[in-house]
């Protein structure tokens, strides 16, 4: 337990309002240890709240909570876009959940280096229309039976910033930003 006290960041001391003693005598630090345990529990619980977990995935991905973002694009590279919780954070800045559903999952998976069973991508997206920047966080892929699929090594694992022609990000940018003009 004393080793844990030695590894505390100074930021925790700021949270507690006082600096921590680095002694191995825990008598004076019991209140701080309780705060540390509470803080650690809070961090762990908030990590689970960041993205829906397996039992709540089905509820989160339920179609009735998503709105179509324009018409589906056609062809083997086609996809449909859906949004959830679209929130303007300024005149030209938006944050929302984005669900990408490919028209042909096998071709889509090959093109973006995804697992074959991928039928949907869900990501938390931020769009800055003025700067033409799109950022994706908390990216997850799902199979047809809504089981999580790895995105590691795929094109979705990279957080693409600038909007490039011919990409899904360009389509998102056009449908979010250009529809406002």
Q: What is the pLDDT of residues 135-171, one digit of tens each?
A: 988 899 999 888 898 888 788 877 768 888 888 999 9
- What six digits make up the tokens of 30? 């019991």
Whether the pTM exceeds 0.95: the reply is no
Give the separation between CA 157 and CA 155, rounded to whole angstroms.
5
Side-chain half-sphere of 15: how many Cα atoms within 13 Å? Answer: 15
In percent, how much of the chain has pLDDT > 90? 35
64 DSSP assignment: G
The overall average pLDDT reported for the chain is 75
110 DSSP assignment: H
Give the separation between CA 25 and CA 74, rounded to whole angstroms.
68
Q: Is the pLDDT of residue 176 over 50?
A: yes
pLDDT band at 87 (very low <50, low <70, confident <90, very high): confident
* Residue in the block written with tokens 């006082």: 18
CA 73 to chain centre: 24
């Amino acid at each position: 337990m004393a080793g844990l006290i030695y590894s505390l960041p100074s930021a925790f001391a700021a949270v507690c309002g006082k600096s921590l003693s680095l002694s191995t005598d825990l008598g004076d630090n019991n209140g701080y240890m309780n705060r540390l345990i509470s803080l650690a529990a809070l961090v762990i619980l908030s990590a689970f709240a960041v993205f829906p977990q397996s039992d709540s995935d089905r509820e989160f991905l339920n179609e009735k909570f998503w709105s179509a973002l324009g018409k589906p694009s056609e062809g083997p590279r086609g996809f449909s876009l859906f949004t959830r919780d679209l929130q303007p954070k300024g005149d030209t800045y938006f944050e929302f959940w984005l669900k990408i559903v490919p028209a042909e999952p096998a071709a889509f998976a090959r093109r973006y280096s995804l697992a074959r069973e991928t039928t949907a991508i869900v990501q938390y997206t931020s769009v800055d229309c003025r700067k033409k920047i799109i950022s994706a966080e908390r990216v997850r892929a799902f199979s047809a039976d809504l089981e999580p699929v790895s995105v590691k090594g795929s094109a979705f694992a990279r957080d693409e910033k600038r909007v490039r022609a011919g990409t899904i990000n360009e389509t998102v940018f056009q449908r979010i930003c250009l529809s406002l003009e």
